[in-house]
Amino acid sequence: MPEGLDFVEVPMSDSIESRLKEDRRFPPSAEFCRHARIQSHAAYTSLHQLSLEDPETFWREHTTDLVFRTPWKKISEWNLPKAKFFVGATLNVSESCLDRHLQTGEATRAAIVWEGEPGDTRTLTYLELHREVVRLTAALADLGVKQGDRVAIYMGMVPETAVAMLACARLGATHSVIFGGFSSDALRERINDCGAKVLLTQDGAWRRGSVVPLKKMADEALAKTPSIEKVLVLRRIGHDRCPVTMKEGRDLWWEDALERKPSDASMKLAKHPEAFDAEHPLFILYTSGSTGKPKGVMHTTAGYLAGVHVSTKYVFDLRAGDVYWCTADVGWVTGHSYLVYGPLSCGATVMLYEGAPNFPDWSRFWQLVEKHGVTILYTAPTAIRAFIRAGDEWPAKHDLSSLRLLGSVGEPINPEAWTWYHRVIGGGRCPIVDTWWQTETGSIMLTTLPGACYSKPGSTGLPFFGVDIAVVKDRGEECKANEGGKLVIRQPWPSMARTLWNDDQRYLDTYWNVIPNVYFTGDGARRDEDGYFWVVGRIDDVLNVAGHRIGTAEIESALVSHPAVAEAAAVGRPDDLKGQALVVFVTLKQGHEAKDLKSKLVEHIDKEIGKFARPDAVRFTDSLPKTRSGKIMRRLLKEIAAGNEAKGDTSTLEDLSVLAKLRTDEE
Ligand code: 6R9
């Protein structure tokens, strides 16, 4: 049995039921269609057909804006599951994102418009961004970073994080951004897994008016990361609010590293970067899987860039003059693909905001939209639901008429949230692109193309170009219209993950050895009679809590590492705000009592993983329901967590009294 597939039923929540009843259609306005890149359903269909039947032509025609130093000889080569794209090409991703715009007269266009949580702002033009990237590239080269080395980035939402990623790309070093919400233990585990040589971090980051002490947390991790030789520290907060300790010989202030005169060789390399093979590893991004160990999803150069470039251009209908805001954190894949590589490769003006949506109050996002004239907003359903709860008076205070397109990502959007987003934020005139994709897919796989297709609230629409996706049964037979099944991708696509870092076997077992000859997404879905996809959610042991992917096994192994815990099981329960909430069931070792332990276990998870993975409920029990073969019966626990009577077959329960006890237990 491949990891994590010992249960496959999908949680039913009210919002899912309302999605099943949903049959409204929202066509794009005539005004939007007139200017859209793709203006009809027929145009979408024929391009999609071309992308699958003649990928060579499709990708040649659609990557003309990207800079290849050596042209590719063949679009792809696959020997499933190993795939190569743009075979024979060489390129440097940072040239497509930066240098080319300087040559096309867009040097003075704003590349990044940044707003800090306290309200400080900075704008970097393409010329300035290029200059910053060149300086950091030279500094990194002088620190000994070379092509193929790994560089860890543990930073917040500041322009330097994008600079750091692009400088690594320019040097050919593989970056691994670790979300700033991760704890020092989680950071250490990821640094050690990828063997990073250098860590880029900052003194601290603003979050809801307080400081997250990133360098201090990094220091704890660095006590046990033998591969790290140097640490660059950006000063974001300053000594008074966030004092840091710098370790002699290892730690360097970012500005000092940049101000030292680089060697001629490094400066030359930074200004005229090398070109790398199309399959050179661009980055590793850790994500949750079905075991306790996070997966280092590895993306390569040309295919990834092509995937994010083309999807940004068409899905967001991006053009000169747009102010594009993706609210995702750069530590997740959405931040990589649709804050940095996609939009910069299109020459867009990207808005970057450091802080929380509700700081100092719930009008913050809308104030930013008005202030910066945001035209495209890409956010997550969990944020939308939180805004709904906060009340319509917050967006009503601001002029949102600059918006022309809205996007949603990260989890299924319920029709209620969709229609609110459409009406209150989009003023009824902005198309909504609900985009389905994953860390592993690199770029958007399912969406309605604005201007070309109508939307159905709650549906993630149709396959993007180059994507052959289907809903199938266990052995791979395609499901009938509206029949639920597993979401799979039947042909490799350019931006797909090439492997899991240092773990080819896990890559095969998780994605390719589940259903014969296809990539298994881990999601359940159905496709309706119009070909629209409705993604229901994960059907493996991965939860989606407020758009964050959390592996139940990660939570469980964190819990059992606490001295008082004997066994633990983590499950999801439907939640109106977060989509899913995390409920853990815990049995204690002899001699320990539940009293006072709840907050200790929550703190323990903060320390092992990070605050974002805090359980919503901790339930203590004498034993967990198990099958006779000793497997924890998660299906039952989910029913109990959701407050439902346990349904289904319980005849294999080791001890039925366990179930009865769990049902009546207080939280
Ligand atoms: C981009 C991103 C991937 C998982 C994915 C699915 C869920 C993402 C969705 C969606 C329904 C959407 N998901 N977008 N479900 N509709 N529009 O979120 O990547 O963090 O790897 O999560 O998120 O379950 O499998 P990642």
Q: Are 447 and 402 in contact (CB under 8 A)?
A: no
Tokens of 413: 């959007």
Q: Which residue puts its alpha carbon closest to atom 15 of ligand 1?
A: 411
Pocket test for ligand 1, best of 299, 382, 436, 527 (most atoms within 8 A of CB): 436
| pLDDT tens digit sequence for 569-583 | 999 999 999 999 999
- What pLDDT does residue 21 have? 72
| 542 C-alpha to ligand 1 centroid (Å) | 11
CA distances for 625 relative to 125, 213, 576, 644, 651, angstroms: 59, 41, 27, 16, 11
Q: Alpha-carbon distance 416 to 19, whole Å?
A: 9
3-state SS, residue 105: coil
Atom of ligand 1 nearest to the CA of 334: 1
Q: Alpha-carbon distance 447 to 438, whole Å?
A: 13
Q: What is the 3-state secondary structure (H, E, C) of 377-439?
A: EEECHHHHHHHHHHCCHHHHCCCCCCCCEEEEECCCCCHHHHHHHHHHHCCCCCCEEEEECCC
Tokens of 397: 């205070």
Amino acid 34 reads R
- What pLDDT does residue 595 have? 85
Q: Which residue puts its alpha carbon closest to atom 19 of ligand 1?
A: 438
Please tell me whether the overall predicted TM-score, pTM, comes out greater than 0.90 for this model.
yes
Residues comprising the chain, all counted: 667
3-state SS, residue 110: strand
Q: Are 556 and 609 in contact (CB under 8 A)?
A: no
Tokens of 648: 């289904």
Tokens of 355: 């802080």
Amino acid 16 reads I
> Tokens 């603003």 — which residue?
206
- What pLDDT does residue 649 have? 53
Q: Name the pairing type of β-strands 617-620 and 579-588.
A: parallel
Q: Cβ < 6 Å from ligand 1: which residues?
A: 287, 332-334, 409-412, 434-439, 460, 521-523, 535, 537-538, 544, 549
DSSP 228-251: --EEEEE-SS-TTTS-----TTTE
| 174 C-alpha to ligand 1 centroid (Å) | 24
Binding residues: 207-210, 334, 358, 410-412, 434-439, 523, 538, 549, 560, 562, 565
Tokens of 660: 């009865």
Residues 6+ apart with CB under 8 A from 597: 564, 588, 620
- Mark the ranges of the chain whose per-residue pLDDT is less than 50: 1-14, 652, 665-667
DSSP 507-572: HIIIIISSSTTSEEEEEEEEE-TTS-EEEEEE-SSEEEETTEEEEHHHHHHHHHTSTTEEEEEEEE
Q: Alpha-carbon distance 50 to 526, whole Å?
A: 25
Q: Which residue puts its alpha carbon closest to atom 16 of ligand 1?
A: 412
> Tokens 């991708």 — which residue?
489
- What pLDDT does residue 609 have? 94
Pocket test for ligand 1, best of 421, 523, 543, 612 (most atoms within 8 A of CB): 523
Q: At what angle do helices 126-142 and 264-271 cross, to 10 degrees?
A: 140
Query: Among 3.30.300.30, 3.40.50.970, 3.50.50.60, 3.40.50.720, what is the CATH number of 546-665?
Result: 3.30.300.30
| 438 C-alpha to ligand 1 centroid (Å) | 5
CA 527 vs. chain centroid, Å, equals 24
| pLDDT tens digit sequence for 235-256 | 999 999 999 999 999 999 999 9
Nearest to 242, CA basis, from 208, 270, 213: 213
How is residue 448 annotated by DSSP? P
Residues 6+ apart with CB under 8 A from 301: 91, 93, 276, 277, 278, 279, 280, 281, 282
Backbone angles phi, psi at 91, to 5 degrees: -165, 165
- What pLDDT does residue 632 have? 82
| ipTM higher than threshold 0.90 | yes
Q: What is the 3-state secondary structure (H, E, C) of 280-334?
A: CEEEEEEECCCCCCCEEEEEECHHHHHHHHHHHHHHCCCCCCCEEEECCCCCCHH
| 411 C-alpha to ligand 1 centroid (Å) | 5
| 88 C-alpha to ligand 1 centroid (Å) | 32
Q: Which residue puts its alpha carbon closest to atom 26 of ligand 1?
A: 438
